[in-house]
Structure 1
Amino acid sequence: MRLHRLEITAFGPFGARQRVDFDALSSAGLFLLHGPTGAGKTSVLDAVCYALYGAVPGARQSPGTSLRSDHASVGTYTEVCLDLTVGGRRLEITRQPAQPRPKKKGTGFTTEKAQSRLREYDAGRGEWKALSRSHQEIGEEIAQLVGMSRDQFCQVVLLPQGDFARFLRADAEARGKLLGRLFDTRRFALVEERLADLRRTAEQQVRDGDERLLALAHRMRQAAGSAAGDWPAPAHRPGEPGLAGAVLQWAAVARSGARESLAVAASARSAAETRQSDARRALDAERELAALQQRHADAVRRAGELEDRRPALERVRARLEQARKAELVGPALRLREEAEREHRAADTAWQQVRAALPAALVDAGAEELSGAERELRQELGGLDAARRAERRSADITREREELDRRARHDDGLLQEAEGWLADWDSVRRALQGRIEAAQDAATRAEHLAGRLEPARRRVSAARERDRLAALAEVVEDGLRTARERAYSARETWLDLKERRLRGIAAELASGLEPGRPCAVCGSAEHPAPAEAGSEHVDRAAEDTAYGAYAAADGDRAEAERQLAVLRGSFTAARDAARESGSADVRESGGPRTVPSRPEPGIPSPSAAPDDLRHSGRRNGSGDRTTAGETAPAPDGRRAEDVLSDTDPAPARAAAEGPPPHPVAVADHDGEVHGTAAGDDAAPAVADLESVVARLEREHRDAHALAAGTHAVREELARAEREYGERLAARQEAERRAVARTSRREALLNEQAALDAEVSRAVGGSGTVAERTALLERRIVLLSGAAEAVRAADTAALRLKEADDRLSDAAFRAGYDTPAEAAAALLADAEQHELQRRLDAWQAEEAAVADRLAEPEPRSAAGLPPAAPEAALHASDAAESALRDAVSALDSARERCAELDRLSRRAADEARGLGPLRDEYERVARLAGLTAGTSADNEHRMRLESYVLAARLEQVAAAASVRLQRMSAGRYTLVHSDARAGGKRSGLGLHVVDAWTGKERDTATLSGGETFFASLALALGLADVVTEEAGGVRLDTLFIDEGFGSLDDQTLDEVLDVLDSLRERDRSVGIVSHVGDLRRRIPAQLEVVKERDGSAVRLRSAPVGG
């Protein structure tokens, strides 16, 4: 890998664009990167790392840190561009980190996303070819070509400050971490982890199997029940050998004992069934005897009870006879009770009316009350005239209120009319102004309509121009193919023609005949005629080749003719689109471009005309061309070159750099206008479409405004009519106010006379209605009082007649007084209840007599009393014994079945556990060996440490070659397997002192010795990592600081070692601010601090002693 060029813009301490030419620096083989502290020497190396990997080394990439320079202006983008050769390919990597930029609309900033671009230089075509803009694709491509990760690159190519001194003196663990990152030994650590996982998994599987066996043994112990205590269970733990055999042996013993218990339980159940059957029959016999004895005893008891109830039943029969005799007096009693109720009601109604009567009429009779009622009715008839006067007075009041309402309404109309008429002049002027504005809009709409159609034609022409530009690429491709075919056919024809000419002698000799003169020399003798060789071409082959050439040349001419026609169409479309187009584009705020500075040093296509710079189509690589860019043709030429009349190849060959890229130029208002190439540049379709859209929008707005002219005129006419109507309404309101005043005075006089008439008629009452209501209430009261007096007299007469009829009926029924007859009388329900009691007693007496006559209960009564409780107790005991026997038999069967099932499962588990235990033992041996814990691992060295130890041996050997030169043959680095402090061995590093012949720790080296030992170690590590990365050549290395600790002689020896790297075509950059190095190293890159940001200077210092 060789670096050629680095461009840094707004990165770190560099505010402006800085360019580093590594080719110029590397030509000397050894160059110096120096400058004051903090100037940015390390930032140059950070930029190289960022270009390759998209990140800077170490803590400088921590969150919260920004790569953007604080010295950069707002419009300058942070960017790093690196030109390098790696894997035989010339690449250019450009990266921009995420950074703030001003918003395109409004104020403030927005964050621009990170961008990356990868290009490759095509030496055959002499131009850069875009490869990718994807961060992921670029990262994968660079990682594959370089063969190193970012950490490896930073350790191998950018040898960092102090890292290798720490590596030299570090313990085995820290040294292992660094080597693990550089050589990527994670796969070996993963092997250790994988084997450990497999060991744990296998161990867990064995333990799980043993635990399942123990669980089955526990379940068999539970299934065996209390008998399990006779057989001791296995005492093994999970993982111990012999557990499976012990469990299976214990299971066999448990099954044998369970089968013996099953046979005993079956015999016990048969005996219990016989005892239970006998007890059931004895219980049934005792229960039947007890039922018969109880039936006879119940009949005797009921007969005694009936005899005790006989006197009471006789009394019931006598009371029932008295009630039936008293039923003859019932109708007279009911008639008397009804008469008494009517008399009480009439008397109560009279007392209520009497309390409301005036004192003079309290003791009045019916006739007197009726006379008073007639007098009040006469007075009520005399109130009709007063009622009519009162209604007229109310009508006058409502009419006066209506006059007041109308007066208020007219007052409101007058105020509104006065206000409206006061604003009339301003309203009329506003409407007239709107009419004038609408007329102006109509004039503008007509003007815009005249501009709109030409603008649409220019849009169509621009679209046709872009279509022809895209078609030109296809036609040009066909033309190039036709030219190549014609050229190839011509070369073939000329080659065949030349070969025929070389063998023309043989062709002429084939036509010679003996005795006939030669057509060339005229001789009739032909001693040695020429013979045709193997590559001889005859005339037919030459003619065929010429025919193919002629056909191919015709195709070429036809393609050129088609291209010429296409050029003419394109020119016409371009001119049509350009006609007045620039003015419209400028008016619409279209883009204006100026050429930017070309990139130096890289050949690229020549500058193109401005005709198609705004085509807005896609180029051949699939990227969208923006305004001001031109899509390349398949051969690298642009569509403008294809449509131009001259071949652009000479212009491309003569070009020194890439074409100027047009960039947008804004005026002081921030609005984009035109192009810097000239106002007659071909406008883009998007710009013309925006012009058409603007014209259509303005025409639509003007037309809409002009369309309202008639409406505004109508509105003015309506306003004028309303003005006249409001004047007339004001005059009419004033006339109505005068008429209302005279009418109100007449109504007041009439209402005063009516109110006097009403007052005389109503007397003490407030209104005629109140006087009428009072008279009506008095009439109703007197009428009700007269009716109540008549009803009370009638009710008293009917009560006296009912008393007489009741006395006669009681005497006829045999009672001395009506009260005795009433006391003997019973209700129908009571009579029915007494009769039911008599009937029930007679029925029960007959049933008891039948029960006492039954023979079986009478015979059972003579036997000893039955004892069913004792028989039931004996039957329950036999039933319980049977249930226990059946349950014991079922339990014995289930116990045998469960033990058999669990034993089979235990046997299956034991068979499956054997291979797992064998696998566990094998994996455990491997895991212990790779983890360094096995006794077979003598050095207790892990697998990853073992691999890193091998790499460290290679590094020590490679470093010792340079260390011996730097130390004048005194020191050699060696790898050590010794263990220290009980720790694992494998990554020790010692130095052998040739002066003493002793091997000692690297920590005993002095400061300068430590530096050149660290440098030798770093260079050796770089060689080994390079070989590990697939042999990628590292032609450029950087060493950061540390030279200040060396004396002059040692510094010379170190520089000689670094200078010897040129033998392998390497260049080494030393990053240091040591002044002595500036005199020793002529090629220098100086980083200078400045107020507006650091800058780099390429210098060639004279070599001094």
Structure 2
Amino acid sequence: MKLHSLRVTAFGPFGAAQHVDFDALNAAGLFLLHGPTGAGKTSVLDAVCFALYGSVPGAREGRGLTLRSDHAATDTPTEVVLDLTVGGRRLEVTRRPAQLRPKKGNRTGFVTEKAQSWLRERDPETGEWQALSRSHQEIGEEIGQLVGMNREQFCQVVLLPQGDFARFLRADAEARGKLLGKLFDTRRFAAVEERLAELRRTAEQQVKQGDERLLALAERTAEAAGPAARDLPRPEERPGDPGLAAAVLAWAAVARSGAVERRDLAACAVDAADSRRAAARRVLEEQRDLLRLQERYAETRRRATALDERREQFEGLCTRQDLARAADRVAPALTLRDTAEREHRQAATAYAHARTRLPASLADAGADQLAERERRIRQELGGLDAARRAERRSAEITAERAALDREARADEDVRQDAEDWLAAWDSVRRRLQDRIETAQEAATRAGHLESQLAPAAARLAAARRRDALDQQLGGAEQRLRTARDAAGDAREHWLDLRERRLSGIAAELAAELRDGEACKVCGATGHPAPARAGAGHVDRDTEQRAEDAYGRAEDTRAQAESELSRLRQTHAAAQAEATGASVDELAVLEGELRHDHATAHAAAGDMHAAREELGRAEQEHARRVDAREQAERRSAARTSHREAIDRELAGLQEELTRARGEAGSVEEQFATLTRRVALLADAAEAVRAYEETAERLKAADGSLADAAFKAGFATPDEAARAFLDHREQRALQERIDAWQAERAAVADRLHERDAAEAAARPASDVRSAEAALTAAERAQRDATSAYDAARDRCTALARLGRQAQDEARRLGPLRADYERVARMAGLAAGTSADNERKMRLESYVLAARLEQVAAAATARLHRMSAGRYTLVHSDERTIGTGSRRAGLGLHVVDSWTGRERDTSTLSGGETFFASLALALGLADVVTDEAGGVRLDTLFIDEGFGSLDEATLDEVIDVLDALRERNRSVGIVSHVGDLRRRIPVQLEVIKGRAGSAVRRRGTAD
């Protein structure tokens, strides 16, 4: 990645547009970015980071509103434009943060403009710029893929914040782990730790659940076993204990054995009870058989007596049967005579009814006379057919005229209704159009008020923030004054201690002298009069603590200044947005606008309904006009049709008058004649039937008298009384057969020997035998119930035992998995005894990265320190820092003493070049980690003031070596000696109107 140019406008301390030509600076390879404190040296680097990633580095990161310069004009937008080459592509990135701008037109106040981004690419053939994207997300993804680093990595690799690495050099393992984790993105290893821990917890939960199911099965086994497990001690293991499964299985086996023994004893008791019940049942059956025979013999004697009493009744039944059989020979004649009599009665009834319906002149007429009269009337009916058809046509014409009259009235109603509705059409249309126009005006007003409502609400919120920030500003100013005083006191104290230490540095050097060893200052091996530390001597540790206290105080002061600046900018933005009005005034204005907007919005809501109603009214108008025209056309057509049917009706009326005679209508005359024909036909038929049935009845009476005499009856009536039909004869025979069967059965039972012998024995005692059987059955049921319960217990215990064995088999692999996962999770988390150094997996990976960083840093540190110092990685545990884990230790090896010591023992200058070497080494490793992206431009921020002249030369040489392969290095510092050593410079000049940049010198 190579930077070509940077243009900033209204950004940070730069009020006007500033241009930085990195191509001219890169030509020198090594250039200096310097200027007075607060001029904006670091803001140049912030602009580079903001252009690439949309935010500034580290603690300077904030919202877009804080990036705007207070020196810029209100109408000048804050903008950063960066021209660079990355991944073989020439790109231009333009960023504008969210910022306040004046309202357009004549309106006063400010509005917040959203953040904007542009990305363009230069065509290498035509040299023209082509737009790629204006999306923040797309630009961020494109830059991230090309650079190969996120913002944190870029700030550590390209912008090299030396102060951060000084802290990193002296930090404990926990702090180093956080920084390295961000740079190398080792979250996946932490995720592995968390995943293993989660798997361990899941496996542990599954094992405990399995153990709880086993214990639940043990409880169910105890309930199922009942007395068999009452005295057995329960397993003492708890869920999670390794021996729980074996203990539960053993305890369940003992409970099953006891239950089986109790079941066998219950089976023996059931056998004995079955024997006693069988004996009692045999005794009861014998008593019941005796009682049955005794009762049978007594019942037979009662039936024999009853038969003797009914003998006369039986003889009468036999006589009645003989008479009925004799009457059977007369039955055909009786049947014939009954049929003839019934037919004659029916014919006589019909004959009398027909005579009553005939006219008086035909009351005594014969069948032939009636038939002749019927024939003449039928001839008259044949002449009425044509008149009937004419009458039906006349009725149709009359109905048609009535329908035409109804249609005429309906059309007249439709026409009149349409006329009435159309008369009011103009007023209805004007009323609906007025409603639409009123709603449109209300909608326009609502839109206008809505555009005013959001700014009014924003001004009200800004006024409230402004009032709240007024109180916060006072506290922040007080905290800044306190922090400045504390920082000044800490600096004076540190400088005082440093001066006192430098005054007694000879004694400190003398303390390291050994007889026979060369002096580090003069090289002599003899030390006749080494200096001694005087009263109040300050050692290096005391000075270092004072310096650290000063650094902390400076950090506190910087934080207080940043907080106050942020509050002031926020307060200024809120003050500008509120336009100086009070909260109450703005609240009243916002309420009035909201009320007016609601009223206008409600009125505008009627627009849709009014338009729909107007559309429906226009459709109704068209329908009414069409209905009126249709009614008029139908009325004209009906007039000609009515005239035609009136002429046809007049001709039909003459014909009908002749045909209907005295009747009201032809159809009525036809119905009258039809009824007369039917009446004459029925009367003739009734006369013939009456005469024929009288002859048949006379012949049947003679046949019946002859048959009764031949059968032995004095009269036909006597034969009729003796006659029985088949059903009655069958019933009589069944009664005779039943008496005879009963007499035979009683005779047979009286000769049974066993019944007679049983009657001679004592009476049967069934009740005592039943009571004995009941007692035996109760005892047998109790024994069976006890056996069933014991058998069910055994079945349930066997089932529960199989379930427990299945659960134990399922639990075995789960417990093995849990033990394996628990060992892996403990090893990865650093809590396992197998992990001797208590290193977490993420710490182990970071330790490997730190070892690479230490190796890369040593190559430069060895040269900067003239071969004295070497950085080494240590995986020993850190004691006394609150962490007992190892892996992220960093030590320095002093070749002069041959000892390895902590980096916190380095002096201020040594700490600087050691941290610089560490930063450069980390940049190399992160670059390789990011995919080997070539970095052609680097920046090193501050820290050179603590180096002596010789060390500074070494550091400059090391940095100058970075220029190899067209790499350029920018040093950010205000050290005056560097301005003499580095000819190409970018100077930042501050003034009342804002800072400006100026390039000095040219490349050699």
TM-score (norm 1): 0.44
Q: TM-score, normalised by structure 2?
A: 0.48
Greater helix fraction, Structure 1 or Structure 2? 2
